Structure 1
Amino acid sequence: MNLSAKASSQTQASGAQSRAVAALALFQVLENGRSLSDALPQASRQQQLNARDQALAQAICYGVLRHLPRYNAYANALLEKPLRAKMKPLHYLLLVGIYQIVGLNTQTHAAVAATVEAAVLLKLPRHKGLVNGVLRNFLRNQASIEQQVDSDDLAHPRWLQQRLIDNYGQQRATDIMQANNQQAPMWLRVNLAKQTRTDYQQRLQQQGIDSVADPHVASALRLTHAVAVQQLPGFAEGDVSVQDVAAQACAALLQPQTGQRVLDCCAAPGGKTVHMLEHCHGELSMTALDVDERRLQRVDENLKRGGYQAQLVCADAAATDSWWDGQPFQAILLDAPCSATGVIRRHPDIKWLRRADDIATLTATQQRLLDNLWPTLAVGGRLLYATCSVLTDENSAQIAAFLARHADARLLPIATADNPVAGVLEGCWQRLPGTAEGDGFFYAVMEKQA
């Protein structure tokens, strides 16, 4: 084989690998209920993808999941009968191929060739002809298929669409869903204990990285174009971290003070833990608690990168008898487990993994955490309840019910620069996806009275 032919063969193999990884990850998410953040890295390791091909596989998965009903409808219109059982991975491979043509504008020959070869890596080599025929049929009849297929442009499950309409009305619900279907920008949190935001912005400019400062969150910079973290100056030294602007608001809202005893519940992966320590130049008695020991390792990694210390506790936060020493905390951040309906832009698999009956289970967990953590808070101390949800049951209704149960809890009104959202408990703050380019987030600050 000459060098030119060898290079071509390697390129084709690499292209097939990235398409196979995308198809396998989609299969794991949509058939086995695994999160994309777990399924995609595992599939990438199995195929030994390089960084560039990993990025392509991720882009394909995100694109398919954002508009899954549309791509399912296209594939089904081209198949004589649905692909089932051992053939099911081919259905997701077809979605991968169709998305490249529709969403990525990949050169059609390259898209089809690499996707067809990916059938071999999926151990279905006898069906390369099926993949080739379906994709070429789509190319020949794309315009008519797109016109004929009745697909849901909002691309959310019906139960979630109805829940959003019930909470916000039709127009705002539509706005939320359309925002969810957009790609989220990359936000940075500048460590203000080490430098000013302006100074760090200049460091970025020297590297050819453009950014925009958020007018309300002092540490937040939005990149005009996302980059790999390795390109961020000072990332390894903790000068900067990747964190959405909505999540960065937590430290300012809780307002931990130097020397205080602070608890960060459900702390993994540790971004808010480190931010609070940065806020007080590391001078906090910080406890970071999470129920997942594996995820707690991420907290430890982020603490070490920033050069900060905290007591790490692996426990159920609500089971206070198992971990609390009886000494009250002056500040508690409860970033509660939730539906994550405010971060679908970043995790489009959430739309298809979450179920309607999950919400009741989540609200019960949130209530248990609130009620059991409240006794650990000192009189005069603050508890910030936060979720990355936009659903009222998890947010305003949860806090209204908590206040009704606890006479010693006082809601501290949050003054924000954003327009108020109708239906939100007065004094709380509900950010919606895309507001000021940030994620959807809810906050309520409560003070303990004597």
Structure 2
Amino acid sequence: MTPSSGTGLGTGAGAGMHSIALASQLQQVAGALQDILGGRSGSAVLDDVPAPLRPGVQALLFQVLRKLGWAQAIRRQLAPRTPRPPVDALLCTALALLADAEHLPYEPFTLVNQTIEAAKQSSAVRAQAPFINACLRRFLRERAPLQQAIANDLQAQWNHPRWWVQRLQKDHPQHWQQILEANNLQAPMVLRINKQKGTSAQYQKALAAIDIEASLVGESGLVLRRGVPVQALPGFAEGMVSVQDAAAQLAAPLLLSGLELGQDPHQPLRVLDACAAPGGKTAHLLEWMGPEAAVQVTALDIDPLRCARIDDTLQRLGLQRPEQVQVLAADAGRPQDWWPQRCGGQLFDAILLDAPCTASGIVRRHPDVRWLRRETDIAQLAQTQARLLATLWPLLRPGGRLLYCTCSVFLAEGEQQVKAFLAHHTDAGLLPSPGHLWPGKSGKPGTVPDNLSGEHDGFFYALLQKTAP
């Protein structure tokens, strides 16, 4: 999604969209929901929505995705036989938007009437408009008994797949409820200030001057009271600031603190960002070290199009310095294809492995993730993570550090992964690390700076050091 999408456009669904018929928005939302349930990502489906409709459709879609488990359970009470996908998607869209009786985006009868209008406008749904109308009006009449009938439905209660809830209950028996509660909230917009161009305190004052409230978080971050388009941020185009969650902002200082930051131009610090796109952490590494540091950062991504996003990020921030960074379209799991030729076969001083994962820690920002994932994905991704760890470890010099991280709250992608790695690599030691961070305002106490514990996504960090032979 675009940088502003992570700001949570899930409030005020109709704000600024009154000139566009609600029926047209509902039709687009239902189509997007059907595609997501068919396996497409929210980013991809929103890219297909006409630009004038996109802000309102995204806001409504996010609201629907956060109430989808409840809506599907209610629909099963109203219609035990599952309707055809386009009909089911529109019916569940309306039910999800009716879920929170105290904070409805529209009056119930307006929403029902516009849903029927959306059905009539769709050739795939038109014949079932009377059926949708009957279901929704029955729901308005019998809301209380229908809700009572699904009171013990785990998926309806938590709006996550049943297997997801059960996995969290097993992984985090003391905290699974607060993780799920946080996942169903809208994430705030968080900024990282480019320390080469200013401080977070200075930027906070610049925001206050244009009536944007923000609070300090972490070493270089600000949490905005309300999200704004990135174009509204002072100095965004000039590279003063980036959008990055507070937990993700821990990567660069965790990896680099305590290392000799490239003081000798004849022996530059060699850093690998192994899964770098879209470039936020690569940029933070370079910002942290500064323009005068003798450093060679290699940023990899397997997708050439995503590598172009890394280049765009570095260019906007004024960090595209050939003497400091090279961006390679290459597979981190096949170093034989790039390490000897492009890196001279030299060992790295530091490696950042932000490994592919379920993204179970960033559901607040991407509510489609919970409905896209399958339980089998965890084991498959854990295998990929283990392979990358084992493949990249030989590229690290003795005494060097590898920071393994995932935006996941599942133990198989974090704590268990690192335990298995340490058991098979006697030359690896675990340095003080945050471990698993829970999403939202619960923050795992004692593992992160005090002023970070108030707000961040779910993450896992393990800092590993290679011992001398």
TM-score between the two structures when normalised by the length of structure 2: 0.84
Any conservation in 2 of the 1:341–1:388 contact (CA below 8 Å)? yes
1:314 correspondence with 2:329: yes
**Cα drift, residue 305 of structure 1:** 0.9
Any conservation in 2 of the 1:19–1:115 contact (CA below 8 Å)? yes
Q: What does residue 175 of structure 1 align with? A: 178
**Cα drift, residue 12 of structure 1:** 7.3
**Cα drift, residue 70 of structure 1:** 0.8
User: SS at 2:45's partner residue?
Assistant: helix
Q: What does residue 105 of structure 2 align with? A: 105
Q: What does residue 420 of structure 1 align with? A: none
- Change in 2 beyond 3 A, CA 1:190/1:138: same
Any conservation in 2 of the 1:13–1:114 contact (CA below 8 Å)? no
Give the Cα–Cα distance (whole angstroms) in 1 for the partners of residues 19 and 282 of structure 2: 44
**Cα drift, residue 208 of structure 1:** 0.9
User: SS at 1:316's partner residue?
Assistant: coil
Any conservation in 1 of the 2:64–2:97 contact (CA below 8 Å)? no
Q: What does residue 94 of structure 1 align with? A: 91
Which has the larger helix fraction? 1
1:233 correspondence with 2:234: yes
Give the Cα–Cα distance (whole angstroms) in 1 for the partners of residues 232 and 300 of structure 2: 31
Q: What does residue 37 of structure 1 align with? A: 43
Q: Aligned ranges for residues 383-398 of structure 1 at < 5 Å?
A: 383-398=402-417
Q: What does residue 323 of structure 1 align with? A: 338
Deviates more, 1:234-243 or 1:121-130: 121-130
Give the Cα–Cα distance (whole angstroms) in 1 for the partners of residues 422 and 460 of structure 2: 16
Any conservation in 1 of the 2:69–2:158 contact (CA below 8 Å)? no
The one-letter code sitting in structure 1 at the alignment partner of 2:135 is: V
**Cα drift, residue 13 of structure 1:** 5.4
- Residue deviations 1:47-91, cap 9 Å, x none? x241xx42222222222222322111222333374212xxx2121
- Residue deviations 1:277-311, cap 9 Å, x none? 11112443221101122222221211111111231
Any conservation in 2 of the 1:60–1:99 contact (CA below 8 Å)? no
User: SS at 1:245's partner residue?
Assistant: coil
Give the Cα–Cα distance (whole angstroms) in 2 for the partners of residues 253 and 11 of structure 1: 47
Any conservation in 2 of the 1:36–1:349 contact (CA below 8 Å)? yes
Any conservation in 2 of the 1:112–1:135 contact (CA below 8 Å)? yes
The one-letter code sitting in structure 2 at the alignment partner of 1:333 is: L
Pick the aligned partner of 2:289 from 271, 275, 280: 280
Can you give the 5+ residue segments of structure 2 that lack an aligned partner in the other structure? 1-16, 263-267, 444-453
Q: What does residue 423 of structure 1 align with? A: none
- Change in 2 beyond 3 A, CA 1:413/1:351: same
Any conservation in 1 of the 2:276–2:310 contact (CA below 8 Å)? yes
Give the Cα–Cα distance (whole angstroms) in 1 for the partners of residues 459 and 422 of structure 2: 20
User: SS at 1:347's partner residue?
Assistant: coil
Say what the alpha-carbon RMSD is for the aligned residues: 2.0
Q: What does residue 422 of structure 1 align with? A: none
Any conservation in 2 of the 1:412–1:447 contact (CA below 8 Å)? yes
Q: Aligned ranges for residues 134-173 of structure 1 at < 5 Å?
A: 134-150=135-151, 151=153, 152-169=156-173, 171-173=174-176
The one-letter code sitting in structure 2 at the alignment partner of 1:129 is: P
User: SS at 1:221's partner residue?
Assistant: strand
**Cα drift, residue 402 of structure 1:** 1.4
1:305 correspondence with 2:316: yes
Any conservation in 2 of the 1:67–1:153 contact (CA below 8 Å)? no
Q: Aligned ranges for residues 346-365 of structure 1 at < 5 Å?
A: 346-365=365-384
Q: Aligned ranges for residues 228-267 of structure 1 at < 5 Å?
A: 228-255=229-256, 257-258=261-262, 259-267=268-276
The one-letter code sitting in structure 2 at the alignment partner of 1:343 is: I
**Cα drift, residue 22 of structure 1:** 0.9
- Residue deviations 1:188-232, cap 9 Å, x none? 111111011111001111111101111xx2111111111111111
Any conservation in 1 of the 2:69–2:161 contact (CA below 8 Å)? no
**Cα drift, residue 392 of structure 1:** 1.5
- Change in 2 beyond 3 A, CA 1:143/1:12: farther
Q: What does residue 8 of structure 2 align with? A: none
The one-letter code sitting in structure 2 at the alignment partner of 1:173 is: W
- Residue deviations 1:377-403, cap 9 Å, x none? 122221100111112222112112212
- Change in 2 beyond 3 A, CA 1:163/1:146: closer
1:204 correspondence with 2:207: yes
- Change in 2 beyond 3 A, CA 1:82/1:396: closer
Q: What does residue 18 of structure 1 align with? A: 25
The one-letter code sitting in structure 2 at the alignment partner of 1:115 is: T
User: SS at 1:357's partner residue?
Assistant: helix
User: SS at 1:303's partner residue?
Assistant: helix
TM-score between the two structures when normalised by the length of structure 1: 0.87
- Change in 2 beyond 3 A, CA 1:315/1:143: same
Q: What does residue 294 of structure 1 align with? A: 305
Any conservation in 2 of the 1:22–1:40 contact (CA below 8 Å)? no
User: SS at 1:69's partner residue?
Assistant: helix
Q: What does residue 79 of structure 2 align with? A: 79
Identity over the aligned pairs, expressed in percent?
45
Can you give the 5+ residue segments of structure 1 that lack an aligned partner in the other structure? 1-9, 415-427
Any conservation in 2 of the 1:17–1:49 contact (CA below 8 Å)? no
- Change in 2 beyond 3 A, CA 1:49/1:116: farther
User: SS at 1:34's partner residue?
Assistant: coil
Give the Cα–Cα distance (whole angstroms) in 2 for the partners of residues 444 and 73 of structure 1: 39
The one-letter code sitting in structure 2 at the alignment partner of 1:404 is: A
Any conservation in 2 of the 1:409–1:446 contact (CA below 8 Å)? yes
User: SS at 1:437's partner residue?
Assistant: coil
User: SS at 1:102's partner residue?
Assistant: coil
Q: What does residue 63 of structure 2 align with? A: 63
Q: What does residue 428 of structure 2 align with? A: 409
